[in-house]
Amino acid sequence: MIGHWFRLHFIENEGMAFGMKLGNADVGKLILTLFRLVAVVFGFFLLKTLVVKKYSKGVIICGSLILAGALGNLIDSMFYGMIFTESSYHMANVAQVGQGYAKFLHGRVVDMLYFPIIDTRMPHWVPFVGGSDFVFFEPVFNIADAAISVGVLTLVLFQKRLIHKKEPVNNAVPQ
């Protein structure tokens, strides 16, 4: 897309971050999707509470980013497998609308953003990894993952500035 450091790279992620999976494929996928569902429902209640308690706009925006990303990944894992055919290397990694490859709650999450900022070979003198290929920032992710990451990182980095309630204005004159 933009030089050699940004590419669109279609991947169907069967698990969670970095493709990690929970045990048995079918049971693990079901547990992961149900966990996502519970997290999204909890996220809506938590975000409503933050709004009602008048937390700062920054906290509400970060919470909204996290919730929107979680909802996007949940929708993929609930319905994607029911709608699209399974993609394969022989089909140029492109899923097509068809009968689907999985039942409800067993779909994969589509990742597509790839930023191999540095793609090189490690010098031979580097211990353990010398002579091997090295890619800086190898994970492939989607916009939902990016929203979650931006929301969480912003809260972590700016928590003292963001996490506070709006104090009621007291117009009473002190005695």
User: Could you say which of 26, 76, 133, 145 is catalytic?
Assistant: 145
CA distance 86 to 150: 30
The CA–CA distances, whole Å, from 155 to 15, 51, 66, 158 equal: 25, 16, 10, 5
CA distance 26 to 69: 23
CA distance 129 to 111: 28
CA distance 87 to 78: 17
Nearest to 4 by CA among 135, 82, 116: 116
User: Could you say which of 26, 76, 111, 133 is catalytic?
Assistant: 111
The reply to whether 76 belongs to the active site is no
Among all residues, which ones are annotated catalytic?
111, 145
